[in-house]
Every structure is written in structure tokens, then in C-alpha cells.
Amino acid sequence: MARKIGLYGILGYFLYGLFFYWYLFHFANTDLPFEYQGTVADPATFLNGRELVLTEEYSKIRNLLFFLSTPFEWMFYLSILLLGLSGAFKKWAEQSSKFKFVQTSIYVAWLSLFAFIATTPLSYISYHFSKQYNISTQSFASWMKDELIDFWVNFGMMVLIVYVLYLLINKSRKRWWLYAWMLTVPFSLFLMFLQPVVIDPLYNDFSPLKNKELESKILALAHEANIPADHVFEVDMAEKTNALNAYVTGIGSNSRIVLWDTTLNRLDDDGILFIMAHEMAHYVEKHIYIGIGGYLLLSLVGLYLTYRIMEWAVTKYGDALKIPAVNDIRSLPLFLIIISMLLFISSPLSNLVSRYQETRADHYAVELTKDPEAGIETFQELTKAGLSQVNPPLLVKVFRYGHPTMLDRIIDLEEYQIKHRDDE
């Protein structure tokens, strides 16, 4: 049975990868509809011939790597189960200490190390192509440093989560999913509170915006929107990327509006003010808190489904997967597979909600600034800097895009511009 599961898994992954290669490189059509050709949304009007070719090449590679990476994790964890490595990790942990927390830490350390070794090649391929296409400016040493920081941050959180999770499963086989969700609420809020001041600075240097004249303009815009903002932060990203970005992070007193220095270097003040107005919309319309609420709701459903699926899988395939019971830590790879699958399946819904919020933020920004031209030029520059497809394939949009496509965003602003020009 174990050999059959492994064979079907490998075959399924191969066919899945073959489908997405065919879809992205031979089937999907990214040409603009006829009615938008020659408009400000047409990349041929603001990208040169080489940039058009590079955009298509890089986007296809990046999208293929995205669709391959998540199922690759499923295959890795399935292999850990079928080969008996999960049992070996548990054995080594129990031989090393009699304390449960230490045993959990050792098990998670082995699992995390094997996962890091298995997934690093795909991560490196993604890094290599971003360097080749001049998106990334990061040195290999700096990239490796970030990968190691990721490893240790994820390891620390995972040890705590796994230890508590299996305590709950052992206490209540039927209700652990509910108790785990109840703990998810304060834990998630705590992480969001810490993110801007503890976790993010591990990767990059943050500082108050150095351009005080620009900061005054941004704060004036915030005052106009009734936002109690005192500072705007910039982050040193030019040593890592040529891409542009700005975002809102954190909650409560730790919430921050952040601009990448690449954005400051490549956009004029009007473009930056448009981006800031967009980010302010997330605060005004409470998108962060709506997002937290949606995440907690999905977490409740996801944990319940995980409980049901784990019980079914261990009952039917426990022998093949070498899992004697759900409450045995050897079931952790199965738990991670199910959680990852549910996140992947639910991503079209979460992306749909996110795109709606981002569209609302675009509308708010243009109403606040009354400058659609700055917005159009900003989106054109974002497209150029990130080699992003203006009109991506449908499956890419559904599974990857938490923002509207550049076609949608630019056309919306052009329609606003025409409408208000006519009103005048």
C-alpha cells in the first residue's frame, strides 16, 4: 500500500506539473482584449520591446515555480511518512531526552532540517531567475542569510505550536481543533503586534522617512483622511530588489505605513502620495481587522476539516503511512499536508476578497488625491519594475493575485479620468 501511495503521488505530481507547464507556456493567452490595445493599460505603450519579452518570460517562469512549489511540499511530507523518517525522528527525540518539550523540539528540528534541505533548491531557482531578470539585486550571502533567518523564526514558532497542538490532541481527541482555534486568536493577534517591531527588522533596516518634505505631504494627506498618523517608515530594500512596494503592517500602537526605498527612488511625489492614499484606505476601511476576522473564520473551518480528514486518513491508511494514532507526533507531516492543501484550495476565495479590498483602496486613493494620472503612471512603473504581466492567465489570477490585475487597475483609473474630464 505504501509503495502504491508513493507511486500515485509521484505520478500525480508529474501530471500536475506537466499540465501547468502546458497551460502557462502553450495555452494561456495574455494578449490584451482588442478594446484595450493602444490604451494606457497596453504594455506596448510604456514598455520597450525587450521589456515586453522579458516580462512574458519571467512571469511564466515565476508562475510555474509557484504552482510547483506548494505540491512539492506535500510530496516531501508524504515521503517523510512513507519512508518511516517521521518514526525515526520520534525515536531519536525520545532517546535524547525524557522531557516532552525537549522531545518535541528535537523532532521538529529534524523535520525542519530535512524540509529546509528539500525545498532550498526550488527557493534557489526562484532566486536565480529573479537575479537573471534583474528583479533581485541581492547577493547570494544575503539571500542565504534571509533563508536561515526564516528557518530559525519558523522553527521557534513551530516548536511552540506543535507542543501545544499535541497536548490538546492528547487531552481531547474530539475537541482539540476547537481548543486549538481558541488559542489561535490571541496568538495571531500577538504575532501581528510583534511583526513590525521584532520580526521584520530581522530582515531589513527600518527608519522614519528621511525626506521630511515628503513626509509632511503624506501626513497632511493622512490628516485629510482623519488618520492619526505621526510617522511614515522607509525600509532599505535597494540592496535586495528593484521591485517597488508599500504596505501597512501591524495592529494597534504598532501599526506602520512602510515604503520601500526603491519606491522612493523611482516614483515622484505624486506617485508616492497616490500609493500612500491607497494604504490609508486600508486603515480607513478597517481592512486589516476584516482580514483578521476572515483569517480566524477560515482557521476555524480549516482546523475542523483537518480533524475530520486526519481521523479518516489514519483509520484507513495509518499502517501505510506508519502513523499508529492521530495523537502520536508521527502524524505531524500528515497535519502539515492537510493544512497546506486547505490553504491552497481556499486561496481563490481569500484572493477574491483581497482583490475587492484592493480595488476599494484604489478608488479611495483616486478620490482622495484627485490625481488619476499619478495612479496610472505609478501602476505602469510597478509593472516595469516587477516585470509583471498586465493581463495574467485566469488560473494565475485566481490562485496568485491578491491585487487586481494591472489591466483592471489602470483601466479603472482611465475611466475615472475620462468621466471627470467630461464632468468638467
| SS3 assignment for 405-421 | CHHHHHHHHHHHHHHHH
What percent of the chain has pLDDT above 90? 64
Residue 80 near residue 333, CB atoms below 8 Å: yes
**Known binding positions:** 278, 282, 358
Could you tell me which of 281, 298, 297 has the C-alpha nearest to residue 222? 281
Whole-number average pLDDT of the chain: 90
Residue 265 near residue 302, CB atoms below 8 Å: no
371 catalytically annotated: no
Which residue type sits at 125? I
Could you tell me which of 117, 23, 7, 35 has the C-alpha nearest to residue 67? 23
Residue 238 resides in a domain: no
pLDDT digits (tens, 9 = 90+) for 8-61: 889 999 999 999 999 999 999 888 999 898 899 999 999 999 999 999 999 999
Residue 261 near residue 234, CB atoms below 8 Å: yes
pLDDT digits (tens, 9 = 90+) for 305-350: 999 999 999 999 998 999 999 999 999 999 999 999 999 999 999 9
Q: Which of 234, 328, 362, 412 is catalytic?
A: 362
Residue 80 resides in a domain: yes
Q: Over 80: is that where the pLDDT of 208 sits?
A: yes
Which residue type sits at 194? L
Joined together, the cell numbers standing for residue 261 give 526605498
Residue 360 resides in a domain: yes
Residue 346 resides in a domain: yes
Choice between 339 and 293, residue whose per-residue pLDDT is larger: 339
Over residues 193-212, mean pLDDT: 81
- pLDDT attached to residue 115: 96
Region of poorest pLDDT, from 126-135, 375-384, 413-422: 413-422
Residue 219 resides in a domain: no
Residue 290 near residue 350, CB atoms below 8 Å: no
Residue 52, domain extent:
2-204+286-423
Could you tell me which of 114, 123, 23 has the C-alpha nearest to residue 75? 114
Q: What is the DSSP string of 77-117?
A: HHHHHHTTHHHHHHHHHHHH-S-HHHHHHHHHHHHHHHHHH
Give the 3-state DSSP-derived string for 174-213, with helices as H, strands as E and coil as C: CCHHHHHHHHHHHHHHHHHHHHHHHHHHHCCCEEECCCHH
* pLDDT level of residue 205 (50, 70, 90 thresholds): confident
Residue 265 resides in a domain: no
239 catalytically annotated: no
The predicted model scores a pTM of 0.89
How do beta strands 233-235 and 206-208 pair? antiparallel
- pLDDT attached to residue 251: 65
* pLDDT level of residue 254 (50, 70, 90 thresholds): low
Residue 55 resides in a domain: yes
Q: Over 60: is that where the pLDDT of 232 sits?
A: yes
- pLDDT attached to residue 107: 96
**Known binding positions for Zn(2+):** 278, 282, 358
Which residue type sits at 22? W
Joined together, the cell numbers standing for residue 218 give 503624506
Q: What is the DSSP string of 246-269?
A: EEEE--GGG-EEEEEHHHHHHS-H
Over residues 269-281, mean pLDDT: 90
Residue 159 resides in a domain: yes
Cα separation, 384 vs 414, whole angstroms: 18
Q: Which of 73, 261, 279, 412 is catalytic?
A: 279
pLDDT digits (tens, 9 = 90+) for 236-253: 888 889 888 887 776 666
Q: Over 60: is that where the pLDDT of 198 sits?
A: yes
Domain count, the chain: 1
